Amino acid sequence: MAVRTDATADQPAILALEDGRVFHGRSFGASGETFGEAVFNTGMTGYQETLTDPSYHRQIVVMTAPHIGNTGVNDDDPESGRIWVAGYVVREPARIPSNWRAQRTLDAELRAQGVVGIAMPATRALTRHLRDRGAMRAAISTVETDPKRLVERVRTSPEMSGADLAGEVSTTEPYQVDPPAGVPSRFRVAAVDLGIKAMTPQRLAERGCTVTVLPAGATADQILGLEPDGVFFSNGPGDPSTADSAVAAVRGVLHARVPLFGICFGNQILGRALELGTYKLRFGHRGVNQPVQDVHTRRVHITSHNHGFAVDAPTDGPFDTPFGRAEVSHVDLNDGVVEGLRLLDRPAFSVQYHPEAAAGPHDAAELFDTFCELMAQREAGAVTPG
Ligand SMILES: NC(=O)CC[C@H](N)C(=O)O
């Protein structure tokens, strides 16, 4: 790995927030200008997975870990075909990346993909500001010299509330992910790509699922036409209150009593299909060490998160839905936010966090086994009728 010799960091850059707060730093990655929702991620590791997670589309991500880029960039860790973050904020970029897997510097990768970033000393102050005031619209610019004008332009940029973004990141054509060599195919899974991370079909495939990944607009008829043993609804960017076609698809799958599993955006969409509301969190959960408790076993998993919205559901026991009874299965121990839903009369469940990890701990990987178990039970004709 060559020593970083580029000199983009010599250019001044400004970060402006919609509430008028302005930060100064030096350019990192591409120079230019970008707008998005400013959010912070507390992960100490996994910057490459974060950058390429489609759920970060239209977000300017502030890393709280002070050194970013230490292990460079490789071709194995991306969670999708490109970097999705709208902008990237770091305290200090690594000048000399060091890792046997490194193929490029992070700075070079950001520039190659046209992603505007800023290296600035005050990432801690910025994070505390976002924690106290909430995630808000922002811009990073190396071209606008008047901070006031940049703030004005941030105020006319699009909000994350009401943003319908899954269609912008989803695959346009279906594709298949097969079990690895030596693993026999046991189940056929249809996975609706609302912004899917590459690790998710892999986690299913390594358990013997042949996964057909479908575009975000897939209808229940199209999904069920594949005669799947189970249906998966993925993570994804934007406001879940907009994703009406995915909600309709979930309802069709629930009617058909085909096992259903949802992650993150998929959890919010299942919630909406059950006629629960969703709401925007003040600053959201983004990191790799959020404690989540299973309400029945009281067992705590340390989990990977990336969500700015959440489901509003009663946490004091089962409640009625158009699809029978359901319950909140998991809650976040930091703030009590609903982190999982389970139907009691249908083979369906979802979590707000990321059992596929990438990046993050693997504590919750067993949820993929739970999904396989539901498919096995259905195959054996053991799914609760009703
Ligand atoms: N990772 C995700 O699926 C995020 C879901 C949704 N866009 C949110 O921010 O809450």
Domain, as residue range, for 43? 8-155
CATH code of the domain in which 281 resides:
3.40.50.880
Catalytic site includes residue 307 = no
SS3 32: coil
Residue 215 in this model has a pLDDT that exceeds 90: yes
**Residue from 85, 101, 19, 90 nearest 50 by CA:** 85
- Choose one of 61, 239, 268 to mutate for the ligand 1 pocket test, by most ligand atoms within 8 angstroms of C-beta: 268
Locate the ligand 1 atom nearest the alpha carbon of residue 309 and give its number: 10
Residues 306 and 175 in one domain: yes
pLDDT tier, 208 (very low <50, low <70, confident <90, very high otherwise): very high
Kindly state the average pLDDT of the residues 176-186: 98
Catalytic site includes residue 264 = yes
Contact 220, 251 (CB under 8 A): yes
Examine residue 160 and state whether it is found in any structural domain, yes or no: no
Residue where a domain terminates, one of 135, 155, 175: 155
Residues 89 and 33 in one domain: yes
Catalytic site includes residue 209 = no
Residues 264, 305, 307, 372: which is the catalytic one? 264
Examine residue 386 and state whether it is found in any structural domain, yes or no: no
**Residues 269, 39, 204, 318, CA torsion sign:** negative
SS3 201: helix
CATH code of the domain in which 115 resides:
3.50.30.20
User: Annotation-wise, does 284 bind a ligand?
Assistant: no
Residue 349 in this model has a pLDDT that exceeds 60: yes
Residues 146 and 174 in one domain: no
Residue where a domain terminates, one of 109, 125, 155: 155
User: The tokens 């046209």 sit on which residue?
Assistant: 114
pLDDT exceeding 90 applies to what percent of the chain? 96
Examine residue 89 and state whether it is found in any structural domain, yes or no: yes
The pLDDT tens digits for 297-320 are 999 999 999 999 999 999 999 999
Residues 53 and 177 in one domain: no
**Residue from 35, 40, 38, 36 nearest 305 by CA:** 40
Which CA distances in Å does 38 have to 61, 113, 370?
Answer: 6, 20, 35
Total domains present in the chain? 2
SS3 187: strand
Kindly state the average pLDDT of the residues 35-57: 98
The rounded distance, in Å, linking the Cα atoms of 180 and 273 is 34
The rounded distance, in Å, linking the Cα atoms of 41 and 209 is 32
Residues with CB under 6 A from ligand 1: 55, 235-238, 264-265, 306-309
Examine residue 385 and state whether it is found in any structural domain, yes or no: no
Residues 350 and 253 in one domain: yes
SS3 251: helix
pLDDT exceeding 70 applies to what percent of the chain? 96
Query: CA torsion 48→53→58→59, rounded to 10°?
Result: -60
Cα angle at 361 between 356 and 364, to 5 degrees? 55
User: Annotation-wise, does 55 bind a ligand?
Assistant: yes
Residues 138 and 52 in one domain: yes
Residues 176 and 139 in one domain: no
Residue 2 in this model has a pLDDT that exceeds 50: no
